[in-house]
Amino acid sequence: MVDGGGSAGMPEKAEWLARFIGEVIDWAAWTFALTPLLAGVVIGLVTDGWLIFGLFTLILFSLVGLLLSLAIVAYVSLTYRNGRSFGKRVMGTQVVRVDGSPVSWAYNFWLRTFLTKGIIMLTIGSMTSGLLFIGNYLWPLWDRDSQSLHDKMVGTIVVKALPPRQAFVRFRS
């Protein structure tokens, strides 16, 4: 259980709308990053002349793969190290453990985002016609601790981000 937020020792809980808009921003950023890859696939599938377009497609996939790899490294290293994805930075929120302590980038990205949100929620969500996926993002609206289902699974909560200096002093002690 998470305390009321804003009390001594615990940052204030983020509002649902700020969380939701942050997720939409993250999905839009990933969609933008993946668009060239999807364009390469479409070009490869709709062209009959593989001899003519084969080299072009190979070069395109190579460049897109390189750019996508760089984008993933930059995204993970720059945005997840303090529990703040790009969307969370824009919306002024961050992920912390339920006791208020910071999450590592590995915990936040691999366990919280990749495994629970990506693999479990999307896989099971697709088996339930998207109901679990939708329910996961609506859950904080009625949850006492303002946690999504994936937050409950890994023991995290989304809070209003502390200014960098306050966060350093708070987490240092």
User: Does residue 1 belong to any structural domain of this protein?
Assistant: no
User: Does residue 6 belong to any structural domain of this protein?
Assistant: no
User: Does residue 152 belong to any structural domain of this protein?
Assistant: yes
Convert the pLDDT of each residue in 30-47 to its tens digit.
777 777 666 766 666 666
Total domain count for the chain?
1
Could you tell me the residue range of the domain that residue 86 belongs to?
16-172
Buried b / exposed e across 93-128, counting CB within 10 Å, b at 16+? bbbbebebebbebebbbebbbeebbeebbeeebeee
Residues 6+ apart with CB under 8 A from 137: 20, 23, 148
User: Does residue 134 belong to any structural domain of this protein?
Assistant: yes
Q: State the average pLDDT for the chain.
A: 77
User: Does residue 57 belong to any structural domain of this protein?
Assistant: yes
Structure tokens at 86: 């790009």
Convert the pLDDT of each residue in 53-84 to its tens digit.
566 666 776 777 777 777 777 666 666 667 78
The three-state secondary structure class of 157 is strand
User: Does residue 26 belong to any structural domain of this protein?
Assistant: yes
- One-letter amino acid at 60 equals L
